[in-house]
Amino acid sequence: MLTISEMEKELVQNGEMETATFGMGCFWGPEARFGSLQGVIRTRVGYAGGTTVAPTYKTIGDHTETVEIDYDPKIISYEEILLHFWRNHYPNRDQYKGQQYISSLRYRTDEQKQMIIQVRYEMEKELGEQIETEVTKLERFTLAESRHQKYYLKRYPNVLEQLDPLYASEESLIGSTFAARLNGFVKGFSTRDQILTEIESWPLHENARQHLIRHFLKIKW
């Protein structure tokens, strides 16, 4: 049986991936939300923005809970990602308790920085108030513990058992497009039909696409 990594390899090879890094409060929900978007290839959660060495959930220090996504800019642009980001959380500091949950954008390139400035100006006009999102250059991203990755999907251990034949390791689950879509699905950010339609469009061999579709349809929630 093909593993998910073997099936999804073409998604990565055919896509010109770029990475976006941001914080929107607790990282569980944003990972599920962005994992449901077409063009997003991988999602993961972790810690960024602080000085604490090797942060963990219990020793996060001055870091912020952060989501990273790899995406195909031919399908979804960084501008679209920023619009999703600002339209789906309140970006001002009085909503949050401490640095751990602040609104943050960690840009990787000057192009990302300029797009943040442009879209923030547009969003301030849309919201009618100043945006206080912390914007800094990404220095380091530390992957969070396994229990935080694909958090909502992992609340269905019986489903994980059914998916087990597809995944050779925890790392392959974290880096899986299919798992990202399922994580968004169980949180209510997409529908069964949306996932089926999207899989049909993935640049995979026909047998791999049909294998994923059959596996999805057989899942007992």
For the beta sheet containing 40-48, the strands, ordered from the edge strand earlier in sequence to the opposite edge, are 134-137, 103-107, 18-24, 64-71, 40-48, 141-143
What secondary structure, in 3-state letters, does 157-202 show?
HHHHHHHHHHCCCHHHHHCCHHHHHHHHHHCCCCCHHHHHHHHHHC
Are 96 and 102 a contacting pair, CB within 8 Å? yes
Q: Are 64 and 101 in contact, with CB atoms under 8 Å apart?
A: yes
Show Cβ contacts of residue 111 under 8 Å, excluding neighbours closer than 6 positions.
78
Q: Residues 4, 159: contact at Cβ < 8 Å?
A: no
- Taking every pair of Cα atoms in the chain, the longest distance, rounded to a whole number of angstroms, is 54
Residue 83: Cβ-neighbour burial (10 angstroms; 0-12, 13-18, 19+)? middle
The tokens 């192009």 sit on which residue?
111
Q: How far apart are the first and last CA of the chain?
A: 22
Dihedral of CA atoms 59, 98, 111, 175 in degrees, nearest 10, equals 40
**Active centre residues (catalytic):** 26
